Structure 1
Amino acid sequence: MTTRRPQISLDQLLERLAHKVAGAAPEGWRRGRVSAVGSRSGSAQYAGWYELGDGRRAGMEVEVIGDRYWECYFGEVAPERLAVEFVVEASGRFEAFTSPDAERTFAAADRLLLVRDPDGLPPEPGDEQEGPADPTYAGDPDEAVRLFREYLRLRAGILGHDGYLNPPLDAASRERLLRRYDVALPPDLLALYGEFNGEYDEGMLFENQTWYALEGALDQSSFWFPTLKWSDNPLWSAVPDSDPPGAVRRSVHRAGWHRFATNTGGDFLAVDLDPGPGGRPGQIIRLDRDYGACYVADSMTTLLRHHVDALRRGDYRLRTHDLDAADLEDLDDLDGVEDLDDGEDPDNAEEFAGLDPENLDPDLLDRYLDREGMERGDLRLFLTVETGLPRERHAPVGSAATHRVTLSGEGADFHAGLVSLRRAPVEALRLVLDATAPTGSPEGAGSSEPTGSSETADSPEPVDLAPLLGHPTLRALTLVSECPVDVRVLPTLPKLRGLDLSKAEAHGIDVMTTELDGLAFLCLRYAQWQAVPEPGSASSLAAVALGGDASPRETYDWASRFGAEASFHEGNLEGE
């Protein structure tokens, strides 16, 4: 007979957490706060801290998501994912906000996200790029076949065998597959399938990746494709440019990226049928487990030429980890020291001590095999060709620094920095103004519009962002400032889609938000949200976020404003 554990209610869980947080509180604390998300598939704790009597914060070592009540509730009771914002005071009073619609993410753990329209993501930069200036293929099928045959000849001479290649596909079979999947591969890659139809084992033929059979390269239905979500902080983490600039579209994934080789570790070679303005159709790109692609070569023909040249130069590495069909007992025998015959000269064995199974010296390997009466074909050898082609996801061309910029400073220097960004293709901008920033702009450099500040004559005049007027590429802006900043210039930015003012003293929010029709994401503090008119000005917002340290009651009021499913809980600890 099995004993069932008692069911834990959400109120019981919250009271348990209140006791746990209060019990671990430091001396002189005023309140403790926890932000976490729980679900049956996993939980995460994004914040935990105590506020002390003098206003300072102290760290919290309490891990609520490891509590047995938490595990029981989210493992057996909770029907779905639930965000929990929890505060307990030294008096014993506690309150909590819970919602299945809200979430915190590690990409932006300092704000609570509420997605109103999951499909309302703005276009990626790659969606807005032009097509290739040269729409012709760079490769040559006849030259590709010639290079392929030479590459296989050189490769067989190194490995001692012809590889693990499938029989070729005739022209009719290739054409039938192309029609079935409605894909037009570049002629040079397609021609190789008339020589061999991919590999049947991990031969690591191209860029040390295993070549798919033609149907595997055409049928992409079984692959996982990365997709952006609002929880990925997409406007502030756009894919940077490749090298050469503009060759590959700046997208996390494109339907025109057809994978034709893999190393089984999540990395792929793909043929790009949807290149950027600086690319060519049929160019070769590298995909990994992250977002975006790395440019490799302008065609399969060029890729093969690099492989042939590398082997002719001797730029390759041999390794082995499988000794089937060998007379050696295990890999240790390769060092030539183990299992010496009686009377064998140990000095002769020392000659082979430098044989590293992960980086075999070809000459030393051949001498050892000769001694053992073996050939290279008797070992399972793996060949790593050092072509020198890019292997990083994004080659450094400075584009990331150009598209994503953080500008900090004060006064005239800060204003000069803003002016320098007027012609820069900045897309995501983080402005950090020092608290001591002088008021206004340098004489003659400010906006012709009045600031409209309601501050008194003795209050600092808001900093003017006029140099950003009409910036053509800016998509996302984060503002961090303890001094006042006039943000009414922001509606002039034609591509602005994301805005985070939650760490700024922003003036003109009420006017700005009524004019930002294309804004898709907005993050504000609770008090700032109160200045946003109801609710039509927020109709274009696909996602909203709450920054700062809003109380659970304020968080509930904010989430309810946008129609989120949410609950507010409160109570008192007995004996406190």
Structure 2
Amino acid sequence: MVDQRSPSHSLHDFATWEPVLRLMLTGDTQRRAALPARVAGRISQYGWSLAHRGAMPTATRIAVEGIQKALGRGGVQEREIAFRAEVQPDGSTVLGLVWPSPAVEPAVGYPDLGVLVLVESALPEPWRRLPAPAPGAPAASADLELLERTLRERLPDAIGATEAEIAATEARLGVTLTDEFKVLYRVTRARWEDWDHEYQDQADTAVGCELAAMEHLYSVDAEARHPGWDLGATQAPCTPPDAAVQALAGSPGWIGFGSNGGDEYAVDLTPGPGGHTGQIILVDHEQSIGAELVADSLTDFILGRTRQEGPALRTDEPPSAATVGAGGLATVRAAAHPDLEVLSIGMPDGPPFSLAPLTGLPRLRTLSASPGALADPLELTGVTGLEFLELGAQEWRVLLDAGAVPRSLKAAAIAVRDQDHLPVVAIANDLLALWDRPRIVETILKGDLGPAT
């Protein structure tokens, strides 16, 4: 969808973008060779992604800051505007501005568009994954009497939760809390109004973290840890047979009860095969999958007997994520096996790759292929169950024209090479139309940057 209007008149002016384009054309060799030059980037209200190394000239910085201010005035706060330009040797330039869309997720590695979210609010499979059954038992170190005695000695004036409050919390969370956890909250319900600031610090020291009130206990939410489709679709977490903690983004059985000021402590009711029910884990805010084992039991945690999970056992099972070409495996057949989930295909050293070995693989959900890497994109008809697909513009056009775009997709990306810059939005909108998603609005500006020097 091409729009000649813009949310801001200043952003609609080619002169606003001219310093940015000139910066990105620094060292331009294409136009010196009488070929078109193509550039792309993103600018948000709080940052930018421009293909340029080194210091930014003052004029360019002023231009970028002006674009950022214009984005704020236009009500596009914390969103990015993508741009792409084709500059002819004589300087005539076509500049496309791609406006934020609810159907496009800005992503690292996709400078002039992003990931198309074909199904609203969809998440990659690892962020929808539920915990496996957890037959684990409490650790031998769980000692209810020692735990209660220690807490009461440290918090003699604390007000504890009633049995009714504990039962209500279990009903709200949909879980049965461990006996250790009930002991903790029978001693202190951890409400801020029960104590002054000094006593709050004493309570946090007594427990070993910033303790949440019982009514604020929560299940760690996988969706809140979603890093975006560009990173999430390529993740293939697995739980080794000796792991204490399951490789999950979140679990109804990870009950957050405190923090260290940034990361979350949780009691684990769905441990891994080598873990214990009621173990204490740390959910790192910088990670999107998994958690770190901190203590085998709440008793250990309160007493400061912390530990770390040892290395997982090695297995001879083939990897669930693989790369073919570009320094990876030599053939698609070498990567294909029933447990394969994620496959990335780079440019081959020889002929393009056939996808025939992938036919019928039951768990393959993500496929990313560089433009020109596939012998026949229509071989994708034999690959069922894909939820994320990244292809070049020409490969997408083949699928669209043949009516062969996999309808199992939840998200998609268009890998852009130089000659594909201009048609990318039209292809993206054709894909979005198949799922009746909002189309992308693109503003086309024309100007003249003068001949290459």
Match of 1:508 among 352, 376, 379: 376
Q: Map 1:131-530 to 2 at 5 A.
A: 131-134=133-136, 136-138=137-139, 143-150=143-150, 162=154, 166-175=158-167, 177-179=169-171, 182-198=174-190, 200=195, 201-203=200-202, 204-205=204-205, 208-217=208-217, 226-228=224-226, 230-239=228-237, 241=239, 245-263=242-260, 265-290=261-286, 291=288, 292-304=290-302, 307=303, 385=304, 387-390=305-308, 396-397=311-312, 424-433=317-326, 464-469=331-336, 471-483=337-349, 484=351, 485-502=353-370, 505-511=373-379, 513-530=380-397
Could you say which structure has the greater relative contact order, defined with CA pairs below 8 angstroms and 6 or more residues apart?
A: 2
Residue-by-residue CA offset, 1:53-95 (whole Å, 9 max, x unaligned): xxxxx88957679524413431223657532223334421222
Change (3 A) 1:232 1:282: farther
Residue-by-residue CA offset, 1:232-253 (whole Å, 9 max, x unaligned): 52122345648x8443232222
Q: Please report how far the alpha carbon of residue 300 of structure 1 lies from its aligned counterpart in structure 2 after TM superposition.
A: 2.0
1:73 equivalent in alignment to 2:70? yes
Change (3 A) 1:173 1:119: closer
1:474 is matched by which residue type in structure 2?
A: L
Q: In structure 2, how many angstroms separate the alpha carbons of the residues matched to 1:556 and 1:151?
A: 61
2:292 is matched by which residue type in structure 1?
A: C
Q: Please report how far the alpha carbon of residue 185 of structure 1 lies from its aligned counterpart in structure 2 after TM superposition.
A: 0.9
Aligned residue for 1:430, secondary structure, equals strand
Aligned residue for 1:530, secondary structure, equals helix
Residue-by-residue CA offset, 1:181-219 (whole Å, 9 max, x unaligned): 6542101220233334448512344673133343333x6
Q: Please report how far the alpha carbon of residue 501 of structure 1 lies from its aligned counterpart in structure 2 after TM superposition.
A: 0.8
1:235 is matched by which residue type in structure 2?
A: A
Q: Tell me, yes or no, if the aligned pair for 1:553 and 1:568 is still in contact at 8 Å.
A: no
Match in the other structure for 1:548: 416
Q: In structure 1, how many angstroms separate the alpha carbons of the residues matched to 2:135 and 2:187?
A: 32
Q: Tell me, yes or no, if the aligned pair for 2:210 and 2:258 is still in contact at 8 Å.
A: yes
Q: In structure 1, how many angstroms separate the alpha carbons of the residues matched to 2:365 and 2:161?
A: 49
Q: Give the length in aligned residue pairs.
A: 413
Change (3 A) 1:556 1:208: same
Match in the other structure for 2:436: none
TM-score normalised by structure 2 residue count: 0.76
Match of 1:48 among 39, 42, 51: 51
Q: Tell me, yes or no, if the aligned pair for 1:510 and 1:531 is still in contact at 8 Å.
A: yes
Larger radius of gyration: 1
Aligned residue for 2:374, secondary structure, equals strand
Q: In structure 1, how many angstroms separate the alpha carbons of the residues matched to 2:273 and 2:70?
A: 53
Match in the other structure for 2:399: 532
For the aligned residue pairs, the C-alpha RMSD in angstroms reads: 3.9
Aligned residue for 1:236, secondary structure, equals coil
Q: Please report how far the alpha carbon of residue 133 of structure 1 lies from its aligned counterpart in structure 2 after TM superposition.
A: 3.2
Q: Tell me, yes or no, if the aligned pair for 2:169 and 2:215 is still in contact at 8 Å.
A: yes
Residue-by-residue CA offset, 1:109-152 (whole Å, 9 max, x unaligned): 59842221143334228826531134x444687x3232442577
Q: Which moved more, 1:200-209 or 1:184-193?
A: 200-209
Change (3 A) 1:546 1:138: same
Q: Tell me, yes or no, if the aligned pair for 2:144 and 2:179 is still in contact at 8 Å.
A: no
- Percentage identity across aligned positions? 22
Aligned residue for 1:189, secondary structure, equals helix
Q: Please report how far the alpha carbon of residue 104 of structure 1 lies from its aligned counterpart in structure 2 after TM superposition.
A: 4.2
Q: Tell me, yes or no, if the aligned pair for 1:193 and 1:214 is still in contact at 8 Å.
A: yes
Match in the other structure for 2:107: 105
Change (3 A) 1:145 1:126: farther
Match in the other structure for 1:92: 91
